[in-house]
Amino acid sequence: MNIEFKAKRASGRLQPIRVLRLSAGSGVAYRQHCVNKGQREVQFKVIRLQYAQECTFNFETHGR
């Protein structure tokens, strides 16, 4: 539906989607990582979309 999607994919500005299935406990580990980095635990919210270079959690180690 996005008129720019095809052009951005063709130019390489938008890479293919990559799916990584996570192992059990990954969500807890992610939350603890964020809290350790300074996010308040009682106000924890999962960021739904984020630039890879801005995310400091290593999801690769939690893949299955």
Of 54, 34, 36, 55, give the one whose Cα is nearest residue 45.
Answer: 34
| Cβ-contact 6, 30 below 8 angstroms | no
Give the CA radius of gyration of the chain.
15
The residues with which 22 forms a beta bridge, in sequence order, are 63
Q: What integer pLDDT is reported at residue 37 of this predicted model?
A: 93
pLDDT, mean of residues 2-31: 91
pTM given for the model: 0.73
pLDDT, mean of residues 6-10: 89
pLDDT, mean of residues 9-33: 92
